[in-house]
Chains A and B, each alone.
Chain A
Amino acid sequence: MSTRLAKGGRLIDRTAPCEFTFNGKRLKGFGGDTLAAALLANDQMLVGRSFKYHRPRGIVASGAEEPNALVNMGQGGRFEPNQRTTTTELFDGLTCTSQNHWPSLEFDVGVVNNYASRFLPAGFYYKTFIHPRFAWKHIFEPVVRQSAGLGQVPKDRDADRYEQAYAFCDILVVGGGIAGLQAALTAAKAGKRVWLVEQTAHWGGRAPVDGVEIDGQPAEAWVKNTVQALEGMENVTLRARCMAAGSYDHGYVLCDEKVADHTPGDGRPRHRLWRLRAGQIIAATGAIERPLSFAGNDIPGVMLAAAVRDYLINWAVAPGDRTVIVTNNDDAYRTAIALKEAGLEVPVVLDARASVTGELPAKARAMGIRVEAGKAIAKVKGGKRVTGVAICAQVGQGSVLEEIACDAVAMSGGWSPVVHLWSHCGGKLRWDEAQAQFAPDKARPPLNHDGAALVVTAGAASGVLSAADVLLDATDAAGGGVAPVATAPQEAAMEPVWIMPQGAPVDLRMKMWLDYQNDVKVSDVQLAAREGYTSVEHTKRYTTLGMATDQGKLSNINGLAVLADSLSAPVPQVGTTTFRPPYTPVTIGALAGEARGEIFQPLRSTPIHAWHLSQNAYMEPVGLWQRPYCYPRAGETHEQAVHREVKNTRTNVGLLDASTLGKIIVKGPDAGKFLDMLYTNVMSNLPVGKCRYGLMCNEQGFLSDDGVVARIDEDTWLCHTTSGGSDRIHAWMEDWLQCEWWDWQVYTANVTEQYAQIAVVGPKARQVLEKLGGMDVSKETLPFMQWADGTLGGFNARVYRISFSGELSYEIAVPASEGRAFWDALLAAGAEFGMMPYGTEGLHVLRAEKGFIMIGDETDGTVIPQDLNLGWAISKKKADYLGKRGQERPYLANPDRWKLVGLETLDGSVIPDGSYAPAPGFNANGQRNTQGRVTSTYFSPTLGKGIAMGLVKGGLTRLGETIEMTKLDGSTMQVKIVDPVFYDKEGEKQNV
Chain B
Amino acid sequence: MSKVASALGGARFDGFASVREIGPLGMITLRAKPDVPGLAAAVTAVTGTALPAQRRIEVAGDKAAGWMSPDEYLLIVPYTEVKAALATLAEKLAGQHHLAVDVSDARAVFRIEGAQAAEVLMKLAPVDHATLTPGELRRTRVAQVAGAFWADETGYSLVCFRSVASYVMGLLSHSATKGAELF
B116 within 8 A of A: no
Per-position binary interface string of chain B over residues 170-181, scored 1 when its CB falls under 8 Å from any chain A CB and 0 otherwise:
110011011110
Given contacts A599-B143, A604-B163, are A669 and B122 in contact (CB under 8 A)?
no
Given contacts A166-B122, A193-B130, are A599 and B97 in contact (CB under 8 A)?
no
A689 within 8 A of B: no
Complex: A748 Cα to B100 Cα, angstroms: 10
Complex: A822 Cα to B105 Cα, angstroms: 14
* Nearest CB of A to B102, in Å: 7
Residues on A with C-beta less than 8 A from B167 are 599, 601-603
Are A267 and B99 in touch, CB under 8 angstroms?
A: no
* Nearest CB of B to A259, in Å: 8
B166 within 8 A of A: yes
Residues on B with C-beta less than 8 A from A752 are 106
Per-position binary interface string of chain B over residues 132-150, scored 1 when its CB falls under 8 Å from any chain A CB and 0 otherwise:
0000000000011100000
Residues on A with C-beta less than 8 A from B71 are 747
Are B6 and A594 in touch, CB under 8 angstroms?
A: no
Are B163 and A605 in touch, CB under 8 angstroms?
A: yes
* Nearest CB of A to B98, in Å: 7
Complex: A489 Cα to B176 Cα, angstroms: 52
Are B177 and A168 in touch, CB under 8 angstroms?
A: no
Are A754 and B105 in touch, CB under 8 angstroms?
A: yes
Residues on B with C-beta less than 8 A from A599 are 143, 167, 170-171, 174
* Nearest CB of B to A671, in Å: 10
Residues on B with C-beta less than 8 A from A750 are 106
A820 within 8 A of B: yes
Complex: A610 Cα to B112 Cα, angstroms: 25
B103 within 8 A of A: yes
Complex: A598 Cα to B143 Cα, angstroms: 13
Residues on B with C-beta less than 8 A from A969 are none
Are A606 and B4 in touch, CB under 8 angstroms?
A: no
Complex: A451 Cα to B128 Cα, angstroms: 23
* Nearest CB of B to A335, in Å: 39
Residues of A751-773 whose CB lies within 8 A of B = 751-755
Given contacts A665-B99, A669-B97, A747-B31, are A168 and B174 in contact (CB under 8 A)?
no
Residues on B with C-beta less than 8 A from A815 are 4, 102, 104-105
The residue from B105, B143, B170, B171 contacting A817, defined by CB atoms under 8 A apart: B105
* Nearest CB of A to B171, in Å: 6
Are B102 and A754 in touch, CB under 8 angstroms?
A: yes
Complex: A35 Cα to B72 Cα, angstroms: 58
Are B163 and A606 in touch, CB under 8 angstroms?
A: yes
A959 within 8 A of B: no
* Nearest CB of B to A525, in Å: 44
* Nearest CB of B to A814, in Å: 9
* Nearest CB of A to B35, in Å: 14
Residues on A with C-beta less than 8 A from B107 are 753
Are B122 and A602 in touch, CB under 8 angstroms?
A: no
The residue from A166, A268, A817 contacting B24, defined by CB atoms under 8 A apart: A817
Given contacts A165-B182, A168-B128, A605-B166, are A751 and B99 in contact (CB under 8 A)?
no
- Of chain A, the residue at the smallest CB distance from B169 is A599
B29 within 8 A of A: yes
With most chain A CB atoms within 10 A of its CB, the pick from B6, B24, B71, B174 is B174
* Nearest CB of A to B6, in Å: 6
B126 within 8 A of A: yes
Complex: A161 Cα to B178 Cα, angstroms: 12
Are A754 and B5 in touch, CB under 8 angstroms?
A: no
Residues on A with C-beta less than 8 A from B122 are 165-167
Residues on B with C-beta less than 8 A from A168 are 128, 130-131
Task: Give me the 9 closest cross-chain CB pairs, A-B, nearest first.
Answer: A821-B3, A747-B99, A604-B163, A816-B105, A754-B106, A168-B128, A599-B170, A753-B106, A602-B167
Can you give 27 contacting A-B residue pairs, CB < 8 Å? A166-B122, A166-B128, A268-B180, A275-B126, A594-B175, A595-B143, A599-B167, A599-B170, A599-B171, A599-B174, A601-B167, A603-B167, A604-B161, A625-B163, A665-B99, A667-B99, A668-B99, A669-B97, A745-B97, A747-B71, A751-B103, A753-B105, A753-B106, A754-B101, A754-B102, A754-B104, A817-B7
Hey, which bits of chain B sit against chain A, CB under 8 A?
A: 3-7, 24, 29, 31-32, 71, 97-99, 101-107, 119, 122-128, 130-131, 143-145, 161-164, 166-168, 170-171, 174-175, 177-180, 182-183
Further contacts, 14 of them, CB under 8 A, given A602-B168, A821-B4: A165-B122, A166-B122, A166-B125, A598-B170, A599-B167, A599-B171, A602-B145, A602-B164, A604-B161, A747-B31, A753-B105, A753-B106, A754-B103, A755-B105
Hey, which bits of chain A sit against chain B, CB under 8 A?
A: 161, 163-168, 193, 237, 266-269, 272, 275, 277, 594-595, 598-599, 601-607, 625, 665, 667-669, 745, 747-755, 795, 815-818, 820-822
